Chain A
Amino acid sequence: MQSSHSEIITRVRNFIKDNFLYMHSDFQLGDDDRLLEKGVMDSMSIVEMIEFVESEFGIRTTGDEIAETNFGSLNGIARFVSGKRTALAAHS
Chain B
Amino acid sequence: MCGIAGIARRYPTGVSPETLGRMAAAIRHRGPDGYGYYVGQRVGFAHVRLSIVDIAGGSQPMTNEDGQLVIIYDGEIYNHPELRRELEQLGHVFRTRCDTEVLVHGYEQWGSAMLQRLNGQFAFAIYDRREETIFIARDRFGVRPLFYSQPSGAFYFGSEIKAILASGEVDAGVDPRGMDEVFTFWGARAPRTPFAGIASLEPGTYGIWKDGALWLRRYYELDYPEAGCEPTDVVEQLDEHMLRSVGVRLRADVPVGAYLSGGLDSSITASLAAAASPDTLRTFSITFDDPKFDESVFQRAVAADIGSIHEVTAIRANSIAASFPDVLWHTETPLLRTAAVPMYHLARLTRQCGIKAVLTGEGADELFLGNDLFKEVQVRHFCLRNPGSVWRERLVDRLYPDLMAHGRGGEFWRRFFLDAGARSDPLFSHLPRFLLGSRVKDFYSPEFRAGIGGINVMAELRASLPARFFAWSPLNKAAYLEMTTLLASYLLSSQGDRMGMAHGVEGRFPFLDHRLYEFSAALPTGSKLRGLREKEVLRRWAPRVLNPRISSRTRQAYRAPDAPSFFGPGSPEWVGDHLGDDALRRVGIFSPPAVQGLVRRCKAGRVTGFRENQALIGILSTQLWYQRFIENRVSIDPLPLRGASVVLDDGVSVPA
Interface residues of A (CB under 8 A from B): 18-19, 22-25, 36, 39, 42-48, 50, 62-63, 66-68, 71
Contact = CB atoms under 8 A, between A and B. Distances in A.
A62 B408 CA distance: 9
Nearest to B406: A63
A-B interface, 7 closest residue pairs, ranked by CB to CB distance from nearest: A22-B597, A63-B407, A44-B609, A23-B594, A43-B413, A46-B412, A23-B442
Given A36-B419, A42-B416, A45-B609, A67 B411 contact: yes
A44 B407 contact: no
A23 B598 contact: yes
B407 A39 contact: no
9 contacts: A19-B601, A22-B593, A22-B594, A24-B442, A43-B413, A44-B610, A46-B412, A48-B606, A63-B408
B628 interface: no
Contact of A36 (B416, B593, B596, B611): B416
Nearest to A71: B412
Contacts, number: 67
A7 B611 CA distance: 29
A39 to B, nearest CB: 7
Nearest to B432: A42
Contacts of A71: 412
A42 B410 CA distance: 12
Interface string B603-637: 00010111100000000000000000000000000
A39 B606 CA distance: 18
Most chain-B Cβ atoms within 10 A of its Cβ — which of A19, A22, A44? A44
A66 to B, nearest CB: 5
Looking at chain A's contact residues, the main secondary structure is helix
Contacts of B598: 22-23
A46 B442 contact: no
A63 to B, nearest CB: 3
Given A23-B598, A47-B408, 18 more contacts: A19-B601, A22-B594, A22-B597, A23-B442, A23-B591, A24-B442, A24-B594, A39-B439, A42-B416, A43-B409, A43-B412, A47-B409, A48-B606, A50-B408, A63-B410, A68-B411, A68-B412, A68-B415
A36 B439 contact: no
B408 A42 contact: no
B608 A44 contact: yes
B339 to A, nearest CB: 19
A44 B611 contact: yes
A66 B411 contact: yes
A42 B609 contact: yes
Contacts of B611: 42, 44-45
B436 interface: yes
Given A23-B442, A44-B608, A48-B606, A36 B412 contact: yes
B443 interface: yes
Interface string B576-604: 00000000000000010110111011000
* Main SS class of interface, B: helix
A66 B414 CA distance: 12
Given A48-B606, A66-B410, A67-B410, A42 B436 contact: yes
Contacts of A45: 609, 611
A13 to B, nearest CB: 16
Interface of B: 403, 407-413, 415-416, 419, 435-436, 439, 442-443, 591, 593-594, 596-598, 600-601, 606, 608-611
Nearest to B615: A23
A47 B413 CA distance: 9
Contacts of A42: 416, 436, 609, 611
Nearest to B416: A43
A26 to B, nearest CB: 10
Contacts of B600: 22
Contacts of A62: 407
Given A48-B606, A62-B407, A63-B407, A36 B442 contact: no
A19 B599 CA distance: 11
Contacts of B609: 42, 44-45, 48
B591 A46 contact: no
A33 to B, nearest CB: 15
B650 to A, nearest CB: 58
A43 B611 CA distance: 10
Nearest to A18: B597
Contacts of A47: 408-409
A66 B407 contact: yes
A50 B593 CA distance: 26
| Interface-centre pick from B412, B413, B443, B606 (highest chain A CB count, 10 A) | B412
Contacts of A46: 409, 412
A45 B415 CA distance: 13
A62 B609 CA distance: 22
A49 B293 CA distance: 26
Contact of A66 (B403, B408, B435): B408
A45 B607 CA distance: 10
Contacts of A23: 442-443, 591, 594, 597-598
A73 to B, nearest CB: 12
A47 B611 CA distance: 14
Contacts of B608: 44, 48
